[in-house]
């Protein structure tokens, strides 16, 4: 059963080929046996999952037939989950039990999904390798010596290793798409505001967006259908109708205009990845698409702009973790200042501390205009580039990452090198656009992903293109050895 996709599980549950309880029991046993190799879970909620599975089976017995009813899921450990530890991968929140469900968690629970637990992640979602977690690094199931990508690396590794069919992730600068690429999954970052951020512990509030991670575009469509929609509790949520994402999956690609930004194919791209990107372009051309070269001239400024804006927002958001109301508190503080300093110094890891310091500096009185305001101006230029491009093309295609998954620890002493791995993904977050990564092949046994970007609220178009591509390729069906 562990090899089934979410769509196949939905059909199996509907046909009564197996029950939700049988499926949940099998997957929990698989997690217990295999996850020690991967470290993809922080918490496994065995008793709660079995209770939810039995309840889902009862609902089916009473005549309900929801497509997600009884299907398994795991949540990245920054989605608040009532009664369950929600740690954000940090010592700061190691003992925090959420008193309520995030909207994403609540909506999928209402649809009848069974939560198997909370997945490992870079601390407070800050990282590209899933090595900064308080609970240890996550390993890539395709090669246990390599990183799975971050910050949603736990979700990616668990799904890629067939511990479960799908999981939630969040994407601030590529943290759904990049680990999806490095583990041969389909990962979707929706338009900013399409999925509620309420109950999602914030890193950078104007960039964070939750989304689905699964093996196929069809599975991502099923999950997004359950997650998306306006939420009055989230002031950044957009009141936009949610289409039937599954209905448009099989639409023909005849005449689809695909843009290839010339800036994507420079010296920073591993040429072997470039070859697989071009192969994916040819496959889409055979399906009727038309390819055109375009330009995104301000892409070169994206990384410096992002690494001013994101740390600045993190500096503000993480100021609430002060040892007073919740989270880690140091022992025997001498006074209030000592409480703040030691609680934060002990609770936050080095990468989080680094970004807080950068962000605080950028927001300080003497540097606000020179750094933060300038970065926001560049952000607008990047958005304008995309708006101009989408007047010429329907989707933009390119590599998801410039390099293959690197070995664990290879970039630990050089954070800037890790930051550069986000070069193709962060522009979508700066502009608020939807983006999707899909499997496109392997180099030296390591997965390669191709990224698709579309205009605002055109997630259905991304899913359609990826689904049609997956009908003529088999990269998404391959499983790592031993899993």
Active site residues per annotation = 76, 151, 175
H-type alpha helices, 39-142: 46-61, 103-110
Rounded distance, CA 352 to CA 90, Å?
9
- How buried is 294 (Cβ within 10 angstroms: 0-12 exposed, 13-18 middle, 19+ buried)? buried
The answer to whether residues 186 and 220 touch, using CB atoms and an 8 Å cutoff, is: yes
Q: Which helix (H) or strand (E) holds 43?
A: strand 41-44
Find where tokens 């994206």 sit: 302
Cis before residue 160, ω within 30 degrees of 0? no
The answer to whether residues 397 and 281 touch, using CB atoms and an 8 Å cutoff, is: yes
Quick one: CA dihedral 379, 385, 391, 393, positive or negative? negative
Which tokens belong to 259?
Answer: 């843009």
How many angstroms separate the Cα of 156 from the Cα of each of 74, 237, 436? 11, 26, 14
H-type alpha helices, 198-259: 217-227
Rounded distance, CA 459 to CA 220, Å?
10
- Residues forming a β-bridge with 452: 397, 436
Residue 413 has phi, psi (to 5 degrees) of: -95, 0
Which tokens belong to 374?
Answer: 């300038």
Nearest-5° Cα angle at 152, 278 to 183: 40
What is the DSSP pairing of strand 257-261 with strand 290-294? parallel
**In whole angstroms, what separates CA 50 from the centre of its chain?**
26
Rounded distance, CA 40 to CA 152, Å?
10
């Amino acid at each position: 059963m562990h090899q089934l996709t979410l769509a196949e599980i939905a059909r199996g549950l509907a046909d009564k080929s197996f029950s939700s309880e049988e499926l949940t029991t099998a997957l929990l046993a698989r997690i217990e046996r295999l996850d020690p190799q991967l470290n993809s879970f922080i918490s496994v909620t065995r008793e709660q999952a079995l209770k939810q599975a039995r309840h889902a089976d009862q609902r089916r017995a009473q005549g309900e037939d929801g497509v997600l009813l009884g299907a398994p899921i795991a949540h990245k450990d920054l989605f608040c989950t009532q009664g369950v530890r929600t740690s954000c991968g940090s010592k700061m929140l190691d003992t925090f039990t959420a008193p309520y469900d995030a909207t994403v968690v609540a909506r999928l629970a209402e649809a009848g999904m069974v939560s198997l637990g909370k997945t490992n992640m870079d601390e407070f979602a800050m990282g590209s390798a899933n090595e900064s977690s308080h609970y240890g690094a996550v390993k890539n199931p395709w090669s246990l010596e390599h990183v799975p990508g971050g910050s949603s690396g736990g979700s990616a590794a668990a799904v890629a290793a067939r511990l479960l069919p799908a999981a939630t992730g969040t994407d601030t600068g590529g943290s759904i798409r990049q680990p999806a690429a490095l583990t041969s999954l389909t990962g979707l970052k929706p338009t900013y505001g399409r999925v509620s951020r309420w109950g999602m512990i914030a890193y950078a509030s104007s960039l964070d967006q939750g989304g689905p991670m699964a093996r196929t575009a069809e599975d991502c469509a099923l999950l997004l259908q359950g997650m998306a929609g306006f939420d009055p509790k989230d002031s950044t949520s957009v009141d936009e109708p949610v289409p039937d994402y599954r209905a448009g999956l099989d639409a023909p690609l005849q005449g689809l205009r695909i843009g290839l930004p010339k800036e994507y194919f420079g010296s920073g791209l591993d040429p072997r990845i470039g070859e697989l990107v071009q192969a994916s372009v040819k496959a889409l051309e055979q399906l009727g698409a038309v390819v055109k070269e375009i330009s995104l001239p301000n892409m070169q400024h994206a990384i410096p702009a992002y690494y001013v804006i994101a740390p600045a927002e993190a500096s503000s958001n993480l100021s609430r973790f002060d040892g007073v109301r919740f989270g880690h508190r140091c022992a025997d503080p001498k006074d209030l200042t000592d409480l703040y300093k030691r609680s934060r110094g002990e609770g936050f890891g080095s990468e989080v501390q680094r970004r807080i310091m950068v962000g605080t500096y950028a927001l300080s009185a003497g540097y606000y205009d020179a750094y933060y305001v300038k970065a926001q101006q560049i952000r607008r230029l990047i958005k304008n580039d995309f708006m101009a491009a989408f007047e010429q093309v329907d989707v933009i295609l390119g590599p998801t990452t410039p390099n293959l998954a690197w070995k664990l620890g290879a970039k630990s002493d050089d954070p800037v090198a890790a930051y550069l791995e986000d070069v193709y993904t962060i522009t979508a977050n700066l502009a608020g656009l939807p983006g999707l990564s899909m499997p496109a092949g392997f180099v030296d046994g390591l997965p390669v992903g191709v990224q698709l970007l579309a205009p605002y609220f055109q997630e259905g178009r991304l899913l359609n293109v990826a689904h049609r591509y997956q009908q003529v390729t088999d990269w998404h069906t391959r499983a790592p050895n031993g899993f």
